[in-house]
Each structure stands twice: as structure tokens, then as C-alpha cells.
Structure 1
């Protein structure tokens, strides 16, 4: 898509009633063969979820453009005002690749790989969070609603409150929030909690995440807590910060309509035909990340093939792995390990002209993904830890035929909603194998009953319901602190 490059006129002071801030803008700059550039919508759950929220509102989305150096001028894209924030090459390395993805991400995902702590990374994290806060403060109208997203911007709520105490501030956590025993490892645990407490309302994917945050405030800041609320401030400045589970969802109507189009349904048939019309088509769709359980999934498929519990030939496993954080060492190692494993499986079980595992290290558009979902007999969503995992909801929504089967890790936020999925502990390889076999071998009637229940759940709790609930909770007046300080701390 080509945006309307309508930059703000010099001296423009337009302010917005809704200000959304996230690490990234919802678009990426792409270069055509002729050297021209344009912006295209980015993949990812946040972009999909927030697009419908922003449409038709007097709002602005603040974020990094994805490129080092000066920020592009603000512009409009698909009816959304976008305001880029500049990051230098060093800030990308320290704030984003370093502190966000090599310090916070491991801690918040159960330390699947070791976290690294560097004071220079922390300094960059502080600096970038303050820069975002200054832009938010500049663009927010009096009394505006400010909605800050995710772990990259945990200090921004307090910075915004210092600059603009008149606005209403919400923060949403797209990833897990760790138990206090893990969170306590962070040398900067106190300022992170204090940064988050600048918000009026904090939304999390699961109740357990909200509870973890409240417990961390109680144990590490010695603040009074009660029923999902934290009391901050002293005397007349006391206020309540509320935390609750508000699980994110997807644009159900749009994806379901896309899946019903003749072009997508024809493409689904074409995909199966190109793979040799296998008896069973397994599908995995993930960002290339060590939290997603791709290695465990491949091991389970390999063992099932070796044991003869998966037909060979007759089974094809398609793994889409969207490129991610290629300059972080843990991610480079992961890619190497996965590619070696895929090669080993195909070397042992593939035949001339066909492969058992088709590994696709690239991104695909919505129509192609909808076709893949329709083509797959079994969807494997088996992360070791995930805040939500919208792929699970996308697969369920795209199955407008009520077909297919979803194998779902119990360590996803999605499992708390999609209880009729084939649930698994991905660390238990034998158990994962049994669940995959069950998803394949159960009767069509059983699979359809499971799928219908999940489809209804997702349809009833779509992205508009999620956004509406978050904004309603943010808009509620938390009122004065209610004396919980004198009664001591209470578990949430």
C-alpha cells in the first residue's frame, strides 16, 4: 500500500484524543526494484489487533519505523495517523536487541535461555522510553486516552504521568509477566515496577500475569495491594493502580470472510495438491523464537515417523518460521539447529520429488495464511511459553468449514480460552506425540464438535470486544485509595 505522505505542516499543533504507543509502527518500508519505496502493513498480532481499533478514531500511532537514523515525517496510512520515533543504530542494538530481547524477553519467558544484564543496555532503555513519553505528551489532547503497549515501553507510563498528569494512561502486556522469583533477578526491577505504576490501568493476557505483577509490587516495593489493585503515592496524592486480565483477540469477521472467498479456498486445494495430497497435513506457524517450541515439535514428528505412528509416505509437516531478531545470538543458533533438524528428518524419511518437512523461513500475507489454515488437517501451536498466541485463534477462525484440529500448548494464554483444543505439555515429548496422534485419529464428528466450540468462543470475544473492554476498564475512575495502607498488604 502507498501512504498519503501528508506530513504535519510546520507549527501544526493538532493533538489526538487517542494516543497509541508501541515499539514499532504497524508498517514496514519496502523498496521496489525500481528504487521507489512504500509502506506495507507489518505482520504480527499487535498490528492485526489494533488496526480495527484505530480506524475511524481521532487517534495517532507512535512507534519506531524499523530503520536507524532520523525518523520519517508523520504520515497517514489506511486511515491511521502514524508518527515515527527515531532510534540510532546503537539504540537499536542496546535498547531493542539488548535490553528488550536479551534481558527482558528471557526473564519474562521462564529463562528458557539465560538473560544478560548490561548497564549500557539499561541506559538506552531509559533513554528511548523517555523519548517515547515526550512524543506522547506532545501529541495527546487534554484529557486524552493514552494506550502504551508491551515490554519495550515499561518505563513510559510514569514518564508520561510526570509530563501530562491530565491524561488517562493504560498499558497492555502482550507477553507473560513472570513470577516474582524470576522478575527479582532483574537489577532494575524497582524502576520497571515504578514505571508501570505510572499507568491507571494495566492489562495482561492471563489472570496469573496480573497477579504476578501485583505480588511483585507488594514484595519488591512494599506497596499495599488488594483485589488486583496497588496503592501508590502518599497522603492526598494516593491513587489506585488496577491490574486485570484482558486477553487479546483478532478481527474475526475479516479473517472469516477472507477464508470464505473462492480464491482462498482454491489456493488451499492448490497447496494440498502441490504437497502431493498427503493423508495428513500438519502445520506450524511461528515467529522464529526459542519460546515457540519448534525444536520440540520437530522432535515429536521425527519420532512419530520413526515409530511408524505417522504415515510415511502420507504425512507432510509444513513449518512457517517468520524471520526474527537475526542479530541476537540465541536466535542465530536456533535457526541453525532447526535447519539441521529439518535436513536430518528429510534425509531419513523423504523420497525423491517430495519432502516430509517443508520449512519456510519467510513471511506470508493474510490470504496465503488463510489458505494454509484451511489446507491443514492439524495445527500445532506448541510454545514453551506464550502470552496469548493469536495463531491459534486465527486457525480456528479460518476453519469456516468446522474442520481441522488444534493441538495447543497449556503454556499459552490461548489455552485458557480454547479449552476444547487438544491440549499438550510441549516439554513432554511422549505426551505431545500422543496428542498429535489423537488429533489425527479422532472421528470427524469429535473434531468438528471441538472446533465449533472454539470458533464460538473466539467469535464472541473478538478484537473489538477486547479493545472495548480494555478502554472501558481504563476509563473507570479508580477513586481514592480506600484505607488499604492502614490494613497492611493483602494478597490479590
Structure 2
């Protein structure tokens, strides 16, 4: 059981996306849970803590009328304890699809040949991080804990620190932090370091990620650490490992719900003597989806006795469709699936 903090304290989560996404259909506004591990992993905290969530609602500002914009803001505030940050279509393109997912993401996942070193995109990254701060600023109270999340907002902790020197700030990176040899390829490495070091506590999933970060701090900023503690301008910054889990009880109970058990029985009944391999992923080159397909194809080549007795079902959620590498990946996956089905499928 998660214990709530004191009544006077509040956690403000600041992330690229809100825990819910807005959509507009026939002049009606609807909300659904945002996709992605961050929103899924943190949304259950709202049951235990006094919280405020700051992020983008998922709709570019130009695609909303003033009336729709006002309605979305009001409903987010009243129903979801959330504050929306406005992003234009150009900012989405240059900030999210550009610097975040065409620069930081491939570099931090050790795909340096995919990295786009665009000064224009980094300028937009700075501007959007500043916009998040401006939206957050009027809501900050002295006793708040501000928890900034992920690679989209690596500059934000220092923006907050500059104007609120005594507020408690945490930063958690949900993706790998690469080795110094990889990170130093980034022309804006010092800016990102200074931004993250605005936090009081910096968290990572694994020890290796934390170790890489501390190495980068020493080599780029010139600061050593003692047992993961960095002294900077009269304060101490903690760097530690906090493997992110899930709300186990929520998912364990979900598997016992009648509609879920009914669906399981339906699948079991349709398989008969068949074996089913299930794969669930977001479409991303870091997930190894083509490798999985090549492995399945190799298995069928080496074991013809399994033809017609085993199937691979892949649930692949579309992702970052505006990024060229993701378009290429989708094309590759589609071609591999067609090849496997054309070669090994049976009439029954």
C-alpha cells in the first residue's frame, strides 16, 4: 500500500503528455488514457496523493477553436487535476518529433546514425521547455514537490530552480542514459547537463544509467560525486536508481475480471491444438521487432514439423509516424510479415 504524504504537501508531475489525451469529434471533446509507459505507470498515483499534472493534451493549438480550448482546459482542471501546455503544430514537429525523437531518443538508445543535429530543433526544445515552466510557474507553492519526467524536459529543472531556489525538484529519466562516449556526440550536452542538475534528486532505472550520468557530469561539468551525491552551489544533488514498476494489484485483479476471463476462454477454444506466440510492443527500432520476425521465420525454416501448428500474433502500436526512421521500420515490418505469411501460411 502506498502511504499518502501530508495534507500540506502536493506532488506536481510535469511530463510531455498528460495522463489523459483529448480528442475532438464532431465538436465534442473526449478524453482517453494516454499511451506510453510514463502515463500508465504514474496515473495510479493520483489515487493516493494530492497531485497536479502539467503537460500537453495531445492536440496542437491551431486545431482547437477558442471555445474548445477553454472547454478542454476547464475539464482537465475539474476532472483530472491537470494543467495543459499549448503546443503549436510547428513546435510538435520540431520539439517532439524533431529534437526529442530524432536526436535524443536515437542517441540515448545507441543509434547514432539516426541522429539529426538540428540547431533549429534545439532552439525549439529550449523554447518549449520554457513554455512548460511558464505554464507551471503560477501553480507552484512553497511546499510542493515538483517531479519532472523524461528526456523531453531535461532543461526544465534548472528553469524552475532559477526562480524557485528552495522548492523540491525531482527528475526521472525513463530511457537509458548513454555512456559518455555516446553522449559527448551531442553538441548541446552541457545545456542538458545543467538543466538536469537543477533537480535535487535525479533518478534512473538502472545502476549503469546512473553511472553513465555521473561520468558525464564529471567530464562535462567538472563535478565529482561521493556515493552518488554531487555538491553544487551550496546544495546537494542525489543521483540514484529507482526501477519503475507497475501497480501490481490493478493488473492482477484485471486478469480475473469476467470479461477478461471470457475472452481468454474464447481464445483457448479457437486454438484447438494450435500454439500461439503473443508479442506486444510500440513500433520502435529499439524494440527489436524485425529481429523477432526473423527469429520466427528461422524457426519455421528449421522446424517444418511446426508448420500449421504455431502462429505469431504481434500487437504493434503505431508510434511517431512523422519520423522517417519509424516510417522505414513500419515498411520493413509489413514486408517481413507478408513474406512469412506468403511462405509458410496454410489454407486452414
Q: CA 1:129–1:31 in structure 2 vs 1: closer, same or farther (change >3 Å)? A: closer
Q: CA 1:225–1:16 in structure 2 vs 1: closer, same or farther (change >3 Å)? A: closer
Following TM superposition, by how much is the alpha carbon of 1:137 offset from its aligned partner in structure 2, in angstroms? 2.3
The residue that corresponds to 1:267 in the other structure is: 263
Aligned residue for 1:146, secondary structure, equals strand
**Structural mapping, 1:291-370, within 5 Å:** 291-308=286-303, 311-353=306-348
**Structural mapping, 1:89-128, within 5 Å:** 89-111=89-111, 113-128=113-128
Q: CA 1:195–1:183 in structure 2 vs 1: closer, same or farther (change >3 Å)? A: same
Q: 18, 31, 36: which is aligned to 1:25?
A: 18
Is the CA contact (8 Å cut-off) linking 2:204 and 2:243 kept in structure 1?
yes
The residue that corresponds to 1:227 in the other structure is: 227
> Does residue 1:254 correspond to 2:254, yes or no?
no
The residue that corresponds to 1:404 in the other structure is: none
Aligned residue for 2:187, secondary structure, equals coil
Determine the C-alpha separation between the residues in 2 that align with 1:143 and 1:163.
Answer: 15
**Structural mapping, 1:151-162, within 5 Å:** 151-162=151-162
The residue that corresponds to 2:277 in the other structure is: 282
Determine the C-alpha separation between the residues in 2 that align with 1:285 and 1:196.
Answer: 32
TM-score, length of structure 2 as denominator length:
0.91
**Structural mapping, 1:9-158, within 5 Å:** 17-32=10-25, 35-69=27-61, 72-76=72-76, 80-111=80-111, 113-158=113-158
Higher mean C-alpha deviation, range 224-233 or range 169-178:
224-233
Higher mean C-alpha deviation, range 265-274 or range 298-307:
265-274
**Structural mapping, 1:466-477, within 5 Å:** none
Is the CA contact (8 Å cut-off) linking 1:74 and 1:84 kept in structure 2?
no
Aligned residue for 1:43, secondary structure, equals coil
The residue that corresponds to 2:241 in the other structure is: 245
Following TM superposition, by how much is the alpha carbon of 1:258 offset from its aligned partner in structure 2, in angstroms? 0.9
Determine the C-alpha separation between the residues in 1 that align with 2:76 and 2:114.
Answer: 41
Give CA deviations for 1:445-483 in whole Å, capped at 9, x if unaligned: xxxxxxxxxxxxxxxxxxxxxxxxxxxxxxxxxxxxxxx
Q: CA 1:157–1:212 in structure 2 vs 1: closer, same or farther (change >3 Å)? A: same
TM-score, length of structure 1 as denominator length:
0.65
Is the CA contact (8 Å cut-off) linking 1:218 and 1:224 kept in structure 2?
yes
Determine the C-alpha separation between the residues in 1 that align with 2:273 and 2:99.
Answer: 44
Determine the C-alpha separation between the residues in 1 that align with 2:300 and 2:162.
Answer: 59
Following TM superposition, by how much is the alpha carbon of 1:48 offset from its aligned partner in structure 2, in angstroms? 1.8
Q: CA 1:133–1:313 in structure 2 vs 1: closer, same or farther (change >3 Å)? A: same
Q: CA 1:26–1:78 in structure 2 vs 1: closer, same or farther (change >3 Å)? A: farther
Is the CA contact (8 Å cut-off) linking 2:108 and 2:175 kept in structure 1?
yes
Is the CA contact (8 Å cut-off) linking 1:104 and 1:115 kept in structure 2?
yes
Is the CA contact (8 Å cut-off) linking 1:204 and 1:244 kept in structure 2?
yes
Q: CA 1:219–1:311 in structure 2 vs 1: closer, same or farther (change >3 Å)? A: same
The residue that corresponds to 2:203 in the other structure is: 203
Give CA deviations for 1:140-163 in whole Å, capped at 9, x if unaligned: 211210000000000000000012
The residue that corresponds to 1:489 in the other structure is: none
Aligned residue for 2:327, secondary structure, equals helix
Give CA deviations for 1:93-115 in whole Å, capped at 9, x if unaligned: 11110000000001100116521
The residue that corresponds to 2:184 in the other structure is: 184
Following TM superposition, by how much is the alpha carbon of 1:273 offset from its aligned partner in structure 2, in angstroms? 3.8
Is the CA contact (8 Å cut-off) linking 1:157 and 1:196 kept in structure 2?
yes
Determine the C-alpha separation between the residues in 2 that align with 1:201 and 1:74.
Answer: 32
Following TM superposition, by how much is the alpha carbon of 1:231 offset from its aligned partner in structure 2, in angstroms? 2.0
The residue that corresponds to 2:213 in the other structure is: 213
5+ residue gaps, structure 2, are 1-7, 63-68
Q: CA 1:78–1:56 in structure 2 vs 1: closer, same or farther (change >3 Å)? A: farther
RMSD (CA atoms): 1.9
Larger RCO (alpha carbons 8 Å, 6+ apart)? 1
Give CA deviations for 1:261-315 in whole Å, capped at 9, x if unaligned: 22211101223444x4353211111100000000000000000001117711110
